[in-house]
Every structure is written in C-alpha cells, then in structure tokens.
A and B are shown apart, each in its own frame.
Chain A
Amino acid sequence: MIDNHKQKTFSINDRVIFDLILFLFFMLLAITSFEYNPRARSIPLGLGLVGSVMIFMQLLVDAMPKLKGKLRFISQSSLLDTESKPKKGRIPEKPAHGRDQPLLPEEAGSRQEWWRLFRVILWLTGFILVLSYVNYLLAVGAFTIFATRVEAGESWKRSIILGASVCAGFYLLFDLLLGAQL
C-alpha cells in the first residue's frame, strides 16, 4: 500500500503536461470559433468547452492523487457504479481496450524514454527535410543508415547493408516497377 503522506499534494509529471496540452488545444479552438458564423461556431464551441472541462478535471486527478478518491467517476469504468467498490489506497487504472495500455505511474515516461523520443523526432524531421529538398532515395537510405547505427547501436556494416537494401527495394518498387513521379 502506498503511503499517501509521502507524495506531494500537487505533482507535475508528464501525464499532467499532456493533459495540459490537450486542455490548451481545446481552449484554443473554442476561443477561435468565435470568429465564425453562429452555425459554424456551434459544434466546435460546445465541444471545445465540454472537452476543456473534462480534460481539466483529468489534469487535476493526475496532478493531485488524493483527488482520485473523491472524483472516482473519472477513473471508473462505467457510468453506473454497479461493480467497482472503493479500493484502499490507489485505484489502479484498468487498461483501455485496444491495446492502449497505460503504464503504471512508476514506469510512466522515464526521462530517458522522452529523450529518445525526441531524438527519433529529430531524425524524422531530418528525413522530411532531405525528402523535400533533395531526393527521396537519399532520404530513405540516409535515415535508415543513421537510425540503425546511432539508435539501434548496430554496426556500420549492418546499418549500411540495411540502408542500401531498403533503398534498393524502394527504387525497384517505385521507380522501376511503377514509374512513380517522385
């Protein structure tokens, strides 16, 4: 059983940041919708406001674990409270269907993982730049080689082989076989 006293009352973890981003997004759209005519405004405004309220409450629950007990409907599984009984300590979240299994709080987004994600995004951005300004084969080859070498820690040989084969595969399929205009 986790000792509630040891935890901070209000903690900002990555979960809270994500909630905040969603909240800002909803608010942004709700506010922008005032620029449009009433009919166009109706649905985005309504949804934006409802969404903002909902995500804000989620944010509170994620930031202040103590609230989980009081606002149980946010974590519970169904509208009617027919099955779930209050559990002592934390209420673990059941995974949502569709393999969107949230990590337990202890695992959630370690710094290292976010840093790796950031690097992946950098690589992909590089890929997109090369794709738009140079040539797609080069982009594909370069990305594969660098991503495999640097991130996966594979040897240069393996990386270049993989990069070259992916390049060749694409060239075969798109340029030769289908004559695509890229």
Chain B
Amino acid sequence: MKRETMQKVKPFVVLCLVLALFLVTFGVNPAEAKFPAKNMTFIIPVSPGGGFDTFARMLVPYLQKYLPGNPNIIVSNVPGGEWNIGITKMYRSKPDGNTFGILNWPANALSQVLGTAKFDLTKITWLGNISEVTYVMCVSPQSKYKTLQELQKAPEVTSGVVGLASTAGLGTVIAAQRLGINMKPIPHDGSTEAILSAMRGDVDWVQYPLATLKKTIVDSKDLIPLWIYSKKRSPILPDVPTVVELGYGDLVDLVTMYRPVGAPPGLPDDVRKIWQDAFWKATNDPEFQKKMIAANEPAMPMTPEETTRLISQGIEMVTKYKDLIQKYMK
C-alpha cells in the first residue's frame, strides 16, 4: 500500500513544484511601472479603420519623437458600448502616464449628461487635441427639397443618422431645431449605411465630416452639398456656402467634432507637464501637420487649457439640449 501511495504522491509533488515555479515566474506582477515605461498604451475606443483610429495612429510616431526615452506606443482598440468601454478602461488605468486615450467630442459628453457614464470627463487629465472636423450637410439627389427654404417649408424631412450618441446625430438634431426644419431621424447601423440610404434616395438629409463625404460628393457626385458648418468656405467645396453666410453662425460650434486626447485623472504634476509639452510639440510638428492636410483634415492643436475649456463648453451645450435629445430617444 505504502509504495502505491508513494508512487501517486511523488509525481503530484513534482507537479506542484513546477506549478509554483510557473506562478512565480509569470504570475507575480512586475514592480510599479515608471514613467516613461518602455511600452505605453494608446487606447482607441473604436474598431480599427475609422477616422479616429487612422488619425490617432498617424500621431503616434510624433508622440514617440517628443516623449523622453523614445517609448514604444502600442495602439489598443477597445471598441464597444458606444465608446464607453474604452473610455472607462482608460479612466480606470493607473495614472502613471503610461496609458492614455482618444475621445470623440462632443458626442462622448452624452453619457455623462444622461447620467450613465462610469467616468467624469472633468477629471480627466487633458493633454490636447488633434484636429477639428468640419461637417457638411448634404441632400439626396432624389430628395424633393434641395434648398434651405424648401427644407424649412417641408412637412417632414427624413435624415439618415446613426445614433444620437454620435456627433453627426447630435448635430443633425440640434441643427434641425435651430433651422426650423421638421426632421424625422431614421436610424442606421453605421455611417456608411446612412450615406448609402441617402444615395438611394431613401432619406433626404445626411451630414458627416467633409473627409468622409468628399468622395461621395466630389468624386461620384452621389450627394448634393447644401452648406458647410465652418466659418470659411472649404477649398475642396468652393461653391458651398457656410452656415455663417446663411445666418446661423452659432451652428458652427454646435456641429463640429473634435478629437481630444486625455490621460487618467490624478497624474503626478511632473508627469503631466512632460506629457502636455510633448503632445503640444507633436501636434505642431510640421511633418505631422503636412500629413494631416494630405488626409483632408488639417491638424488643430489646442493647449491643455483650451482643451479643458472645450470639454466644459461641450458638456454645457449637450446639457442645454438634453431634453430635445431625450425626446428623440423615446
């Protein structure tokens, strides 16, 4: 009996020792990461391939250039929950300067204003902004209404939106109210589907970033641009009037998207200064700016103070329109 038991026990003990060794090697966490760590993480709360993903990745080499120690920045896509999962992940990560993330402004203000956010935007350590996105309003060639006056007089105008938690959606709702257009939003799964709908003539109105719509307006002429939400006319669409010319200049700020970047709250002061300095230099780097222009979206660097102001203004604006938004969500 004894020998049998011994035979059974021996390999078991060996296994336990091996496991213990494994645990020690792999399981024990390394010491607290110093800043700047060898590997940093840039969280992008959407799937790869969209505008945010593309421009964030474009900035990465310039961040590496100006951050001390030439760290390796790993881009991590954390999609889900309409940006919430990614933002929450960034918000909750260790405030040692090694993790940061990009946000979609002002759309990301929505969950906080509605009370469902697991983060507080005002507490985020804002590093700066990458660019400012200009929106273009287009109608379908099959639409019955082709001018602002016709739209205002129309009994009902359908618009293709993705959801109200997007800047395009928010912008459409706010613009419709401001312009006095009786608008019925038709929701879609993604911006491509919404744009397709307008191309088919199923909806009258879509508005999206100029970079996104450029090929549909200019190259294939599938959509008709009516106005652009910016202070000056765009060189790409020289014949399209701005909302300022139409008399609704306040819509420029309301319907413009930003790409701010932030780090978790509670960053130590010295780390924060290094970061903000590096970010400012990166977004102002002439080579980076040239690349952004080539991609149809000029960079718009903002200081941390300007970014913080942008955030509080955005929260204010969305709060002002909270009731209107909630009406559409019913």
Complex contacts, A157 vs chain B, CB 8 Å: 11
Of A134, A145, A156, A181, the residue contacting B23 (CB under 8 A) is A134
Q: Please state if A138 and B26 are interface contacts (CB–CB under 8 Å).
A: yes
Which B residues from 279 to 330 make CB contacts under 8 A with A?
330
B248 at the interface (CB under 8 A from A): no
Of A134, A145, A156, A181, the residue contacting B27 (CB under 8 A) is A134
Task: For residue B325, give the distance in angstroms from its CB to the closest CB of chain A.
Answer: 14
Complex contacts, A138 vs chain B, CB 8 Å: 22-23, 26-27
Complex contacts, B22 vs chain A, CB 8 Å: 135, 138, 141
A151 CA to B23 CA, complexed, in Å: 24
B58 at the interface (CB under 8 A from A): no
Q: Please state if B330 and A37 are interface contacts (CB–CB under 8 Å).
A: yes
With A138-B22, A181-B74 as contacts: A160 and B15 at CB distance below 8 Å: yes
Of B11, B19, B26, B330, the residue contacting A156 (CB under 8 A) is B11
A156 CA to B27 CA, complexed, in Å: 24
Which B residues from 1 to 47 make CB contacts under 8 A with A?
11-12, 15, 19, 22-23, 26-27
Complex contacts, A156 vs chain B, CB 8 Å: 11-12, 15
Q: Please state if B15 and A135 are interface contacts (CB–CB under 8 Å).
A: no
A142 at the interface (CB under 8 A from B): yes
Pick from B15, B19, B26, B74 the residue with the most CB of A within 10 Å: B15
Which B residues from 169 to 191 make CB contacts under 8 A with A?
none
A65 CA to B205 CA, complexed, in Å: 60
A95 CA to B30 CA, complexed, in Å: 55
Looking across the interface, which residue of chain B has its beta carbon closest to that of A164? B18
A157 CA to B10 CA, complexed, in Å: 12
Q: Please state if A135 and B74 are interface contacts (CB–CB under 8 Å).
A: no
A162 CA to B15 CA, complexed, in Å: 14
Complex contacts, A145 vs chain B, CB 8 Å: 15
Q: Fill in one digit per residue for A118-138: 1 if any B CB lies within 8 Å of its CB, else 0.
A: 000000000000000011011
Complex contacts, A141 vs chain B, CB 8 Å: 22
Q: Fill in one digit per residue for A133-165: 1 if any B CB lies within 8 Å of its CB, else 0.
A: 011011001100100000000001100100000
Looking across the interface, which residue of chain B has its beta carbon closest to that of A156? B11
A25 CA to B74 CA, complexed, in Å: 42
Q: Please state if A134 and B15 are interface contacts (CB–CB under 8 Å).
A: no
Looking across the interface, which residue of chain A has its beta carbon closest to that of B7? A156
Task: For residue B37, give the distance in angstroms from its CB to the closest CB of chain A.
Answer: 14
Complex contacts, B11 vs chain A, CB 8 Å: 156-157
A141 CA to B25 CA, complexed, in Å: 14
Q: Please state if A137 and B19 are interface contacts (CB–CB under 8 Å).
A: no
With A37-B330, A156-B11 as contacts: A142 and B27 at CB distance below 8 Å: no
Of B12, B26, B76, B330, the residue contacting A135 (CB under 8 A) is B26
With A37-B330, A181-B74 as contacts: A134 and B26 at CB distance below 8 Å: yes
A141 CA to B23 CA, complexed, in Å: 12
A22 CA to B23 CA, complexed, in Å: 41
Complex contacts, B15 vs chain A, CB 8 Å: 145, 156, 160
A138 CA to B27 CA, complexed, in Å: 9
Looking across the interface, which residue of chain A has its beta carbon closest to that of B76? A181
Task: For residue A130, give the distance in angstroms from its CB to the closest CB of chain B.
Answer: 9
Q: Please state if A142 and B19 are interface contacts (CB–CB under 8 Å).
A: yes
Task: For residue B124, give the distance in angstroms from its CB to the closest CB of chain A.
Answer: 25
Complex contacts, B74 vs chain A, CB 8 Å: 181
Q: List 10 A-B contacts (CB under 8 A).
A: A37-B330, A134-B26, A135-B26, A137-B26, A138-B23, A138-B26, A145-B15, A156-B12, A156-B15, A181-B74
A sample of 14 more A-B contacts (CB under 8 A), given A138-B23, A160-B15, is: A37-B330, A134-B23, A134-B26, A134-B27, A135-B26, A135-B27, A138-B26, A138-B27, A141-B22, A142-B19, A145-B15, A156-B11, A156-B12, A156-B15
Query: Which 9 residue pairs spanning A and B have beta carbons closest together?
Result: A135-B26, A156-B11, A134-B27, A138-B22, A37-B330, A138-B26, A135-B27, A134-B26, A142-B19
